[in-house]
């Protein structure tokens, strides 16, 4: 932050998510400025420079994250670059908001979390769906004990991506995993948020299309996980890119159901301002409107009546990041949260490859 309180940002990677989420979110935050943009693709870089009005543009992240007049960095590049960009930015004292999955494996992710803590900078993993009003209200209801003894956690994400090319998302060296890191990582975070740490799991994954767009498709298109949480609840996760006819955007099905001794709660991302509740002995679920105070993140200047609420809730993420920097406190979602999910992802990979149950290290579910 400079002496007048202005925060200058650099955006590394100017693709879909950078321009859809991060840039408009930042534009809502007073006394912030997108100073610099970086993309290895010169055409995308130029388009981003024009559309954002950033005065610095470079194809090399090192030129941007080392600048004295950059205070915070948003990383929205393919997964393999998250750790090197973040570590360089942290080394130069920058606050970092990094896209999910945080890294290529848990070792890398924990090293990012450690480096950020040691440098005393703010760090945030972009688990964007934590900012859905209905998810925030669900967390609130669970934390106040309305679920009772937790029995089951169930998350299902279905999309129809057909056979289209996925670019870097179909390459192991750039993405690490397919559907697992792309979509299931958010739902693993939901599990942590609502139930706490995972104790053990078994997983299966599948790939149907060996090629997409005439290039090898190396990664999972579907993943399923069965597990136990340390709190005693069971967990079931499923995520697919091949749910034909189920839509290919955020309007596709994305549900979480919790069953406990006092209640069932059903969450659906598309229904951003309502939940469904089942009560003991009830015959069907009842609708629960999300109270207005949950419609935006605390303090956010966003007007939930403006724009598509399924898009605009995402802007609260950068608001939280900026507030954490200004208030010198940890972000609501940190690199530690990203690393915990990465630890579970590593276990899923091991289980899917060996067809064995995998225990998570005790520190993962006792810390
Ligand atoms: N939080 C969410 O809800 C969410 C949603 C979508 C994507 N993501 C994550 O965001 C990241 C980017 O995804 P996307 O869909 O925007 O991808 P994208 O392909 O649309 O954009 C990535 C951009 O990064 C650029 N790039 C590649 N290597 C670079 C480097 N070394 N330095 C600078 N720029 C580089 C590419 O040219 C491209 O413009 C991924 O990690 C993805 O998992 C998160």
Q: Which residue is listed with tokens 């397919």?
A: 178
Bridge partners (DSSP) of residue 269 are none
Q: Which residue, among 359, 364, 358, has the nearest Cα to 340 in the 3D structure?
A: 364
Q: Which atom of ligand 1 is nearest to the CA of 12?
A: 33
48 C-alpha vs ligand 1 centroid, how far in Å?
A: 13
74 C-alpha vs ligand 1 centroid, how far in Å?
A: 11
Say if pTM beats, i.e. exceeds, 0.75. Answer: yes
| The residue count for the chain | 367
Q: Kindly report the protein residue whose alpha carbon is nearest to atom 19 of ligand 1.
A: 15
Q: Which one of 10, 11, 15, 129 would you pick to mutate in the ligand 1 pocket, going by the greatest count of ligand atoms within 8 A of its CB?
A: 15
11 C-alpha vs ligand 1 centroid, how far in Å?
A: 11
Q: What is the distance between the alpha carbons of residues 278 and 287, in angstroms, rounded to a whole number?
A: 9
Helices (H), ranges, the chain: 16-17, 23-27, 42-52, 61-65, 82-91, 106-119, 133-143, 172-175, 179, 185-195, 309-312, 315-327, 335-354, 362-366
Ligand 1 neighbours (beta carbon < 6 A): 12-18, 38-41, 44, 61, 76-79, 81, 99-100, 126, 128, 167-168, 182
Q: What is the DSSP string of 45-108?
A: HHHHHHHH--SEEES-HHHHHT-TT--EEEE-S-GGGHHHHHHHHHHTT-EEEEPSS-SSSHHH
Please report the pLDDT score of residue 122 as a whole number.
Answer: 98
First to last CA, the chain: 33
CATH class of 132-307+341-359: alpha beta
Q: Kindly report the protein residue whose alpha carbon is nearest to atom 6 of ligand 1.
A: 17
Sign of the alpha-carbon torsion through 103, 192, 257, 321: negative
82 C-alpha vs ligand 1 centroid, how far in Å?
A: 10
Q: Which residue, among 347, 351, 354, 350, has the nearest Cα to 197 in the 3D structure?
A: 347
Please report the pLDDT score of residue 117 as a whole number.
Answer: 98
Residues of the chain with pLDDT under 50: 366-367
The CATH number for 7-128, chosen from 3.40.50.720, 2.40.110.10, 3.10.450.350, 3.30.365.10, is 3.40.50.720
Q: What angle do CA 197, 298, 86 make, to 5 degrees?
A: 55
CATH 3.40.50.720 domain range(s) in the chain = 7-128
CATH 3.30.360.10 domain range(s) in the chain = 132-307+341-359
Please report the pLDDT score of residue 1 as a whole number.
Answer: 73
Q: Kindly report the protein residue whose alpha carbon is nearest to atom 27 of ligand 1.
A: 77
pLDDT in tens, 25-74: 999 999 999 999 999 999 999 999 999 999 999 999 999 999 999 999 99
Q: What is the distance between the alpha carbons of residues 264 and 58, in angstroms, rounded to a whole number?
A: 51
Encoded tokens for 133: 């009003």
Please report the pLDDT score of residue 366 as a whole number.
Answer: 46
Q: Which residue, among 121, 111, 131, 54, has the nearest Cα to 89 in the 3D structure?
A: 121
Q: Which one of 52, 61, 78 would you pick to mutate in the ligand 1 pocket, going by the greatest count of ligand atoms within 8 A of its CB?
A: 78
78 C-alpha vs ligand 1 centroid, how far in Å?
A: 5
Q: What is the distance between the alpha carbons of residues 261 and 2, in angstroms, rounded to a whole number?
A: 52
Q: Which atom of ligand 1 is nearest to the CA of 60?
A: 32
pLDDT in tens, 292-315: 999 999 999 999 999 999 999 999
Please report the pLDDT score of residue 339 as a whole number.
Answer: 98
13 C-alpha vs ligand 1 centroid, how far in Å?
A: 6
228 C-alpha vs ligand 1 centroid, how far in Å?
A: 32
């Amino acid at each position: 932050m400079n002496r007048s309180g202005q925060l200058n940002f650099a955006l590394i990677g100017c693709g879909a998510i950078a321009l859809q989420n991060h840039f408009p979110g930042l534009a809502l935050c007073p006394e912030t400025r997108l100073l610099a943009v970086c993309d290895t693709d010169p055409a995308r870089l130029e388009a981003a420079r024009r559309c954002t009005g950033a005065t610095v543009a470079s194809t090399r992240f090192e030129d941007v994250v080392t600048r004295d007049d950059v205070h915070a960095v948003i990383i929205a590049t393919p997964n393999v670059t998250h750790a090197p960009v973040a570590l360089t930015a942290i080394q130069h004292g920058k606050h970092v908001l990094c896209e999910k999955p945080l890294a290529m494996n848990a070792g890398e992710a924990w090293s990012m979390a450690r480096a950020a803590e040691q440098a005393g900078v703010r760090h945030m993993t972009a688990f964007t769906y934590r900012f859905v009003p209905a998810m925030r209200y669900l967390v609130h209801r669970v934390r106040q004990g309305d679920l009772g003894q937790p029995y089951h956690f169930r998350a299902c994400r279905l999309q129809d991506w057909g056979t289209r090319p996925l670019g870097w998302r179909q390459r192991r060296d750039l993405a690490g995993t397919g559907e697992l890191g792309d979509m299931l990582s958010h739902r693993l975070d939901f599990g942590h948020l609502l139930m706490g740490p995972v104790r053990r799991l078994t997983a299966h994954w599948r790939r149907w299309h060996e090629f997409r767009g005439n290039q090898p498709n190396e990664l999972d298109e579907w993943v399923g996980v069965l597990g136990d949480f340390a709190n005693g609840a069971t967990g079931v996760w499923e995520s697919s890119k091949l749910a034909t006819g189920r839509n290919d955007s955020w309007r596709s099905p994305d549900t979480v159901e919790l069953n406990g001794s006092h209640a069932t709660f059903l969450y659906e991302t598309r229904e951003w301002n309502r939940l469904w509740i089942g009560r003991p002995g009830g015959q069907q679920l009842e609708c629960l409107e999300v109270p207005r105070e949950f419609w935006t993140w605390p303090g956010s200047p966003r007007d939930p009546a403006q724009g598509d609420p399924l898009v605009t809730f995402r802007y609260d993420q950068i608001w939280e990041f900026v507030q954490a920097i200004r208030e010198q406190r940890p972000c609501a979602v940190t690199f530690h949260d990203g690393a915990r999910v990465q630890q579970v992802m590593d276990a899923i990979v091991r289980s899917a490859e060996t067809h064995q149950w995998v225990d998570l290290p005790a520190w993962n579910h006792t810390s």
